[in-house]
């Protein structure tokens, strides 16, 4: 008799992706300045540790809040008892106000239309359960966050169909790419229920323009489907152009008399995902949210949220912090300045190593880095070889583009906000030495010769790695 479920024994979680395997190797040999100075530096984790001092300063100035006191009286018992899964009204109000502040107060959010979830992971999966049946599909532009293969598909049975974007226009989504993806889904006998985008983009670190958001809204209106805008990096935009939320574009279209009727038809098919993991640097607090003006979606998602609630203690603490407008104004501004400075440090260090980045990078906790000239051939096999060298010989965990479903070998996501300046400088020193040694050994081909000798081979190479599972050879084990 079969003792375990198919879900328990299947291999569709995505844990064998190089994105997650890099973390595993880091955890076996983590860098520490004193204890393990030759260990692996974690540059594959998009955490924001640059502004902890601001949060800690606020906590020190407001000791009653983390002590669970109100008017100098303990409210521990009140918070410890069962709370309605709709969430604390004070926190929902503080959260939507913070979301509006990040967007320059150009758009307002109704706390009655927000659903609290245990992080953005839970929010995205909940929306999949609400909007699609198993076997139906969502379109996602490439490259996209590797965790979506887990978050959107694993438990829901929903499929992902990639919208193929490339470096010729800095990986921007196009009308033709949208329609090609939709046609591809039809060929696979998949009913497409919507489009999901990250804005700002993970892994590109770029913001979407009003024009691109209008394109998406026109597309979902024409195809009668949903749009999910994952905006968890909205507070990390540190350079122009600024952040434009899909809700702001919807508002503008509503005010345009010509488009107001059409916009009313799609307003309840646009959903925003948000989290405090990136903007406030609190991934361990597990605070996410769905914002939707579709009453049925809100009602269903609220019921589902009982499987992943945000603790009352967390809500109480953050409602007080986010309700302090003097603090939030200073935090948003200072955090963006620190991100900009740190991003420039990374870009400068990479440039000294002869490596470039996507020039439109203006947001996020990472850069989309171009290492195509370091590949021995224009294939994803060569990308994996380079990634292994950087992981084991250089001691840096970065995320290869193939893990993000990039269509072109040689791109990598490199994070810069989860470490100290000294650690970042050491990482760049290691990388520069590696590139220099590689050139001396003559093991790296020029990017022009690579493109010439294997133009057009990317797609076939991509397919050849579609079932790739990383395993160390015995020789690699010995070298380590």
Q: Tell me, yes or no, whether 48 and 154 share the same domain.
A: no
Note whether 100 and 205 are same-domain residues: yes
Is the C-alpha dihedral spanning 100, 106, 108, 114 positive or negative?
Answer: negative
Instruction: Clarify whether 232 is annotated catalytic.
Output: yes
Orientation of helix 246-255 relative to helix 210-223, angle to 10°: 70
Angle, CA 233 vertex, CA 229 and CA 236 arms, to 5°: 145
Which range of residues forms the domain containing residue 317? 63-323
181 and 250 share a domain?
Answer: yes
Kindly state whether residue 431 falls inside one of the protein's structural domains: yes
Residue 328 located in a structural domain = no
Buried b (16+ CB within 10 A) or exposed e, 337-374: ebbbebbeebbebbeebebebbebbbbbbbbbbbbbbb
- The ranges of the chain with pLDDT < 50 are 443-480
Which member of 92, 278, 388, 432 is catalytic? 278
Listed residue (17, 359, 336) closest to 172, CA to CA: 359
CA distance 61 to 335: 19
480 assigned to some structural domain: no
Same structural domain, 290 and 319: yes
- Let me know: does 101 contact 326? Beta carbons within 8 Å: no
Tell me, yes or no, whether 219 and 285 share the same domain: yes
- Domain co-membership, 361 together with 394: yes
- Classify residue 58: in a domain, yes or no: no
| Claim to verify: residue 301 and residue 394 sit in the same structural domain | no
* pLDDT at residue number 469: 36
Read off the pLDDT of residues 43-67 as tens digits, 9 standing for 90 and up: 999 999 999 999 999 999 999 988 8
CB 127 within 8 A of CB 302: no
Token code pair at residue 419? 């470490």
How far is 236 from 118, CA to CA, in rounded Å?
A: 21
Pairing of strands 411-415, 366-370: antiparallel
Instruction: Please confirm whether the linkage preceding 241 is cis (ω < 30° from 0).
Output: yes
Separation CA 428–CA 344 (nearest Å): 13
Q: Is residue 388 part of a domain?
A: yes
Kindly state the tokens that stand for 197.
């985008």
Q: What is the pLDDT of residue 13?
A: 74
What are 95's two structure tokens?
């959260």
Instruction: Show which of 292, 323, 354 is a domain's final residue.
Output: 323
Is 278 one of the annotated active-site residues of the chain? Answer: yes
Cis peptide before 315 (omega within 30 of 0): no
Note whether 85 and 196 are same-domain residues: yes
pLDDT at residue 472 in the model = 37
* Same domain (yes/no): 311, 443: no
Evaluate whether residue 467 is within a structural domain. Answer: yes
Q: Please check whether residues 317 and 362 belong to one and the same domain.
A: no
pLDDT attached to residue 455: 38
Q: Which residue has the tokens 């913070």?
A: 98
pLDDT score at 444: 43
Catalytic residue among 97, 151, 230, 279: 230
Query: Rounded distance, CA 175 to CA 212, Å?
Result: 9
Count of C-beta atoms within a 10 Å radius of residue 135 = 11
Domain membership of residue 251 (yes or no) is yes
* pLDDT for res 451: 42
Total of domains in the chain = 2
The CATH number of the domain holding residue 102 is: 3.40.640.10
For residues 289, 291, 292, 293, the Cα torsion angle rounded to the nearest 10 degrees is: 140
Give CA–CA dist 333/417, Å, rounded.
16
In this structure, what CATH number is given to the domain that contains residue 445? 3.90.1150.10
Shared domain check, 206 and 342: no
Q: Are residues 25 and 106 in the same domain?
A: no
pLDDT score for 256 = 74
Three-state DSSP string of the chain: CCCCCHHHHCCCCCCCCHHHHHHHHHHHCECECCCECCCEEECCCCCCCCCHHHHHHHHHHCCCCCCCEECCEECHHHHHCCCCCCCCHHHHHHHHHHHHHHCCCCCCCCHHHEEEECHHHHHHHHHHHHHCCCCCEEEEECCCCCCHHHHCCCCCCCEEEEECCCHHHCCCCCHHHHHHHHHHHHHCCCCEEEEEEECCCCCCCCCCCHHHHHHHHHHHHHHCCEEEEECCCHHHCCCCCCCCCHHHHHHHHHHCCCCHHHHHHHHHHEEEEEECCCCCCCHHHCCEEEEECCHHHHHHHHHHHHHCCCCHHHHHHHHHHHCCHHHHHHHHHHHHHHHHHHHHHHHHHHHHCCCEECCCCCCCCEEEEECHHHCCCCCHHHHHHHHHHHHHHHCEECEEHHHHCCCCCCEEEEECCCCCHHHHHHHHHHHHHHHHHHHHHCCCCCHHHHHHHHCCCHHHHHHHCCCCCCCCCHHHHHHC
> Residue 243: which of 102, 443, 34 has the closest Cα?
102
Q: Which of 19, 144, 145, 291 is catalytic?
A: 145
The pLDDT of residue 189 is 95
In a domain, 478, yes or no: no
- Final residue belonging to a domain, choices 288, 323, 358: 323
Active site residue: 102, 160, 232, 332, which one? 232
Q: Of 323, 351, 368, which residue sits at a domain end?
A: 323
């Amino acid at each position: 008799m079969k003792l375990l479920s198919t879900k328990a024994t299947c291999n569709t979680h995505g844990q064998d992706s190089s994105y997650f395997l890099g973390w595993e190797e880091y955890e076996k040999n983590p860098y520490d300045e004193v204890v393990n100075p030759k260990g692996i530096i974690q540059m594959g984790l998009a955490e924001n540790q640059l502004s902890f001092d601001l949060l800690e300063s606020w906590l020190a100035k407001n000791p009653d809040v983390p002590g669970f006191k109100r008017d100098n009286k303990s409210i521990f018992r009140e918070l410890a008892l069962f709370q309605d899964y709709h969430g604390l009204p004070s926190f929902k109000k503080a959260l939507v106000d913070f979301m509006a502040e990040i967007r320059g107060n150009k758009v307002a959010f109704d706390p009655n239309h927000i659903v609290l979830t245990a992080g953005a992971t839970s929010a995205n999966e909940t929306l999949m359960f609400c909007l699609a049946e198993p076997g139906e599909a969502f379109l996602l532009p490439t490259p996209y966050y590797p965790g979506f293969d887990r978050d959107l598909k694993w438990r829901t049975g929903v499929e992902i169909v990639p919208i193929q974007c490339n470096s010729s226009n800095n990986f921007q989504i196009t009308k033709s790419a949208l329609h090609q993806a939709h046609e591809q889904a039809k060929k696979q006998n998949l009913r497409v229920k919507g489009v999901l985008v990250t804005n700002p983009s993970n892994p590109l670190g770029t913001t979407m323009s009003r024009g691109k958001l209008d394109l998406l809204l026109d597309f979902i209106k024409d195809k009668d489907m949903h749009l999910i805008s994952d905006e968890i990096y909205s507070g990390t935009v540190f350079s122009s152009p600024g952040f434009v939320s899909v809700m702001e574009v919807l508002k503008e279209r509503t005010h345009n008399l010509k488009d107001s009727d059409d916009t009313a038809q799609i307003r309840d098919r646009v959903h925003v995902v948000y989290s405090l993991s990136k903007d406030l640097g609190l991934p361990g607090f597990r605070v996410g949210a769905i914002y939707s003006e579709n009453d049925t979606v809100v009602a269903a998602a609220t019921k589902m949220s009982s499987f992943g609630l945000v603790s009352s203690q967390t809500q109480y603490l953050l409602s007080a912090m986010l309700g302090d407008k003097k603090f939030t104004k200073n935090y948003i501004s200072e955090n963006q300045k620190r991100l900009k400075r740190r991003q420039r440090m990374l870009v400068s260090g990479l440039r000294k190593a002869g490596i470039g980045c996507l020039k439109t990078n203006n947001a996020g906790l990472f850069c989309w880095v171009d290492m195509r000239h370091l590949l021995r051939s224009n294939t994803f096999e060569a990308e994996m070889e380079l990634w292994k060298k950087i992981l084991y010989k250089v001691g840096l965990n970065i995320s290869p583009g193939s893990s993000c479903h990039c269509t072109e070998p040689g791109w990598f996501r490199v994070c810069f906000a989860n470490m100290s300046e000294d650690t970042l400088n050491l990482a760049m020193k290691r990388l520069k030495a590696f590139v220099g040694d590689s050139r001396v050994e003559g093991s790296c081909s020029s990017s022009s010769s690579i493109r010439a000798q294997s133009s057009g081979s990317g797609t076939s190479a991509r397919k050849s790695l579609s079932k790739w599972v990383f395993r160390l050879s015995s020789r690699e084990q010995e070298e380590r």
